[in-house]
Amino acid sequence: MDKVRKDPLFWIFLVFLCYPFLPYLGNFVSLGTELLLWFIFTLSFNLCLGQTGLPSFGHGAFYGLGSYAAAISFLRFYGEDSFFLPLITAIAIGALFGAMLGWMIREKRGVYFAMLTVVFTQVVFGICWRWDAVTGGEAGLSGIDRVSILGLNMKDPHTYYYFCFVVFLLCAILIRTLAKSCFGMSLQAVRQNYIRAQYLGYNTGKYKFAVFTISSAFAGLAGGMYCMLTQSAFADILDWSKSGDVVMATLLGGGTVSFYGPIVGSIIFILFKELLSALWDHWALIYGLLFVVVLSLFPTGLMGIIINRSRGKKSKKGLLPTPAKQGGGAEEQVEQTN
Amino acid sequence: MLILSLILNGVVLGLVYTAVALGFSLVLGVSGVINFSHGIIFTFGAYFFWAMYQSIGYLPAMVLAPIFVAGIGYLVERVIIRRVYGQDPLFGLLITLGFAIAMEELIRMIFGPAAHNVDPPSFASGLLIIGDFVYSYYRLFIAGVAILMIGGTWILTEKSNFGAVVKAGMFNSEMVGALGHNLYKLRLYVMVLGSAAAGLAGILAAPIWSVKSGMGNAILMPSFLIVLMGGLGSIPGTLIGGLLVGLSISLGTLVVPRYVDIIPYLLMGVIVYFWPRGLMGQQNIIE
């Protein structure tokens, strides 16, 4: 029991189990659902960024593709009474496109990797925006319905919230197990010293390809569930600024130093965004400046500050892998901790 | 005749893109920073120009606006970009992206969301007519100025002492610092020059695309593509990349008008697949 109580996932579990019953928060069930989906999304993204050091700007595209995959397959192929099949399609499409992109750019690093993922996002956005016979173009797709599954009425936002909650828990446990497994350790080796890992005989390209595929499958799932939440799919969420949001939320929480950083980051990020946009029309001004201030003052993010303080260290800069110029980043890096 | 004017349009467009992408490429090469504020600096150039040109005339505004924009480039480097030198490129990308988002909203707050039209100057208005062929003088004027800018950058980097240091800085910045050149000043100068060039390109583009807050984003991605296609740190490569992007957009309207936006991206994908460093890229820059 003591071990369970020390597990942060247990506390997240408790808070989100009770969330819809909290006074005054009960009306924000859809916000809570969105938060849970963002948790899945950013945790999966952090497999790339935090574990492997891959600055992917393509995850917004996988999220959007998952969303479209669920919507299109629901409306055209599976008929009106399917619930799980569109989600499975979303996972498959996410994994498929992730594998395609990952295979093409598996040997790239740093700037080139980031740039090529941005370009991929733009291509996907361009196609979905223009191909209105399939994607609905600017108007998007709507009319996706949540149907009853096993006697549970998914149309009720609370039921759907708990469905997302269970899926989130499963995903979080899966991703954590993956991150702590042999595979996850190898990914850290790739991140911390690329060249040494290669000399030790790791095929770094294959590891990157594998992690990219897995991560984009989770992103696709989150997108598909988001499509079910809003009951529509729009090209807006494919814009590459969405990918920027994910990176921002992950870094804000300190995803590079802690497994739970993305969750903390998502909470802050989403709440901040919702509050600001409700208060002021020109909220993007503050939002953009927040990017600048947080990244220049706290490059390790919130969890980084907490971890460093608890270890009695000063905040370290440059927790992301430094470009391997003279045989890899020599600087010691804070390990992934819980 | 249609083909000819489309090709000419593509070349002019490509030259403007190249003029913008050069600054982006130089900053990336020398500082290792993916400068996403380049697009908003381009927008600033257009807006400064739009605010001034009616009161002080076309040419004075065309000289003054890049100077203001260079000042903005100076501030951005001093306040924001210098914090991320030597860190992961992702930080630079996100910090400048945040700045760009904030400034775009600031512009929208001050000038409103509407687009503003700018007339071509009187000395370059009108149409060139040779037989069947009709083309606007203003586009030829743009092409001329863009060629001057590209040529100037080429002379600066290939023929001058400053350029030699810049090129050396692209290959091995630590060595340049060890040889006694002030690396921070070098990066600052490159950023200021690149910003001024982006601002000037914004002015040139203003009469064609009209001045609006989103115009920076429309040019940022093509510069990105051009740098990837042409290869970082190569001026001829950037020119080739720019012309390829311009021509593919312009001629693409003939073939697949609907998907013309994504043709340059696909072209880039093919090029980078076969030439991973771009067409004229050299080894060991930001790798």
Average pLDDT in chain B: 85
Residue found by looking up tokens 């040109």 in the block: B53
How far, in Å, CA of B26 to CA of B158, rounded?
A: 13
Q: Are A208 and A51 in contact (CB under 8 A)?
A: no
CB B109 to CB A116 under 8 A? no
Report residue A132 as tokens.
């209105």
Which pTM does this prediction carry?
Answer: 0.84
Residue of A nearest to B266 (CA): A123
| Strand ranges in chain A using DSSP code E only, listed in sequence order | 141-142, 232-233
Query: Which amino acid is located at B183 in the chain?
Result: L
Q: What DSSP state is assigned to residue B208?
A: H
Query: Which amino acid is located at B93 in the chain?
Result: L
ipTM score for this prediction: 0.79
Q: Are A11 and A267 in contact (CB under 8 A)?
A: no
List residues bridging with B127 in a β-sheet: B136
CB B97 to CB A244 under 8 A? yes
Q: Are B27 and B169 in contact (CB under 8 A)?
A: no
pLDDT of residue B42: 92
Q: A130 vs chain B: nearest CA distance in angstroms?
A: 7
CA dihedral B140, B146, B149, B151 (to 10 degrees): -80
Q: Percentage of residues in chain B with pLDDT exceeding 70?
A: 98
Q: Are B32 and B85 in contact (CB under 8 A)?
A: yes
pLDDT band at A24 (very low <50, low <70, confident <90, very high): low
Q: Which residues of chain A lie closer than 8 angstroms to B106, CB-CB?
A: 282, 285
Q: How many domains does chain B have?
A: 1
Q: Which of A123, A292, A322 sits opposite B95 (nearest CB)?
A: A292
**Is residue B281 in a domain?**
no
Q: Which residue has the higher pLDDT, B207 or B131?
A: B207
Which of A34-43, A89-98, B14-23, B171-180 is predicted least confidently? B171-180
**DSSP code per residue over A85-150:** HHHHHHHHHHHHHHHHHHHHTTT--HHHHHHHHHHHHHHHHHHHHH-HHHH-GGG-EE------BT
Q: How many CB pairs under 8 A join A and B?
A: 134
Q: What is the pLDDT of residues A217-235, one digit of tens each?
A: 999 999 999 988 888 888 7
Q: What is the pLDDT of residues A157-179, one digit of tens each?
A: 778 888 888 899 899 889 988 88
Question: What is the phi-psi region of residue A249: left when phi exceeds 0, alpha when psi lies from -120 to 50, beta otherwise?
Answer: alpha
* Structural domain harbouring B146: 1-274
Q: B213 vs chain A: nearest CA distance in angstroms?
A: 13
pLDDT band at B73 (very low <50, low <70, confident <90, very high): very high
Q: Does the structure show a pLDDT above 50 at A317?
A: no
Which residues, including other chains, have CB under 8 Å from residue A144's CB and lie 6 or more apart?
A70, A71, A74, A75, A86, A227, A228, A231, A232, A233
CATH number of the domain that B72 lies in? 1.10.3470
Q: Does the structure show a pLDDT above 90 at A91?
A: yes
Residue of B nearest to A123 (CA): B262
**Is residue B13 in a domain?**
yes
**Is residue B283 in a domain?**
no
Residue of B nearest to A287 (CA): B102
Which of A32-46, A111-125, A306-320 is predicted least confidently? A306-320
CA-based R_g, chain B, Å: 19
pLDDT of residue A330: 34
CB A111 to CB B32 under 8 A? yes
Mean pLDDT value of segment A268-272 = 85
Residue found by looking up tokens 């897995």 in the block: A214
pLDDT of residue B176: 79
CB A110 to CB B88 under 8 A? yes
CB B95 to CB A291 under 8 A? yes
Residues found in chain B: 287
Residue of B nearest to A125 (CA): B262
pLDDT of residue B287: 53
**Is residue B97 in a domain?**
yes
Q: Which residues of chain B lie closer than 8 angstroms to A321, CB-CB?
A: 88
Report residue A195 as tokens.
């060249």
Which of A44-58, A130-144, B263-277 is predicted least confidently? A130-144
pLDDT band at A95 (very low <50, low <70, confident <90, very high): very high
pLDDT of residue A4: 64
pLDDT of residue B147: 92
Helix or strand holding residue B129 (H, E): strand B127-130
Q: Does the structure show a pLDDT above 50 at B145?
A: yes
